[in-house]
Amino acid sequence: MREENLSLRAKYNITAMFYDILDYPWERIYREWRPKILGDLRGKVLEAGVGTGRNFQHYHKSVELTGVDLSDVMLRKATKKAKKADCKVELLHDDASVMRLVDSNQYDWIISTFLCCVMPDEFQPMALEQFSRVLKPGGKFRLLEMIYSNNKEIRRRQDFFTSFVEKVYGARFDRKTVQYIEESSELNITSKRFLKDDVYLLIEGVKE
């Protein structure tokens, strides 16, 4: 684990205690999206930043899932949800920008939901390099992130929540994830679309 990520891990080890309750108002919206963005996946899937495992129940039973997270306390919560999942789940305590525990060229899919808005910009190219390393040639990725809106009213609401989301989740609306993927040598974006307003961005792509 990167030393610089120890404070983020410490943050999530505390946030984990009340994450599902605190995030409930947003989760009411997200839980409609999760089956739509996960239900068609097959094969070996690596989910980076699994958190408390909210995605697990939406994977098809044939999926072989590896879940990675920085926070051991979030992973403890995820372990409980893993037991209720239809698919096989293996959980690893690892940093997505290092992936010390993950072998190369073995995944059909990389998934993350609300990881990159949490991950500091300086680590994102490294995480993308790891995504690329562990994906099979032709493997795909699907990332759901939130970004700043161009709509004044929405932006005003985001500004209101900015310090809260950064303090509690380490999340920011101004991460440059799309730019880093475009700069990566092996990952290509095939589609970008918003799930709600111009805020919740679903980025899909492939490893060449």
Ligand X SMILES: C[S@@+](CC[C@H](N)C(=O)[O-])C[C@H]1O[C@@H](n2cnc3c(N)ncnc32)[C@H](O)[C@@H]1O
- Residue ranges that bind ligand X, judged by CB under 6 A: 5, 8, 12, 48-51, 54, 68-71, 74, 95-97, 113-115, 118-119, 169
Residue (of 107, 97, 179, 196) closest to 144 by Cα position: 196
The nearest distance, CB 116 to ligand X, in angstroms, is: 9
The nearest distance, CB 33 to ligand X, in angstroms, is: 10
The nearest distance, CB 100 to ligand X, in angstroms, is: 11
Question: Of 48 and 187, which has the nearer Cβ to ligand X?
Answer: 48
The nearest distance, CB 152 to ligand X, in angstroms, is: 26
Residue nearest to ligand X as judged by C-beta position:
51
Question: Of 121 and 137, which has the nearer Cβ to ligand X?
Answer: 121
Question: Of 134 and 137, which has the nearer Cβ to ligand X?
Answer: 134
CA–CA dist 129, 38 (Å, integer)? 23
Question: Of 45 and 96, which has the nearer Cβ to ligand X?
Answer: 96
Residue (of 116, 121, 118) closest to 141 by Cα position: 116
Phi, psi for 106 (deg, rounded to 5): -130, -5
Q: Residue 198: how many CA atoms within 13 Å on its side-chain side? A: 8
> Contact at 8 Å (CB) between 186 and 132?
yes
Please report the DSSP string for 125-149 in residue order.
HHHHHHHHHHEEEEEEEEEEEE---
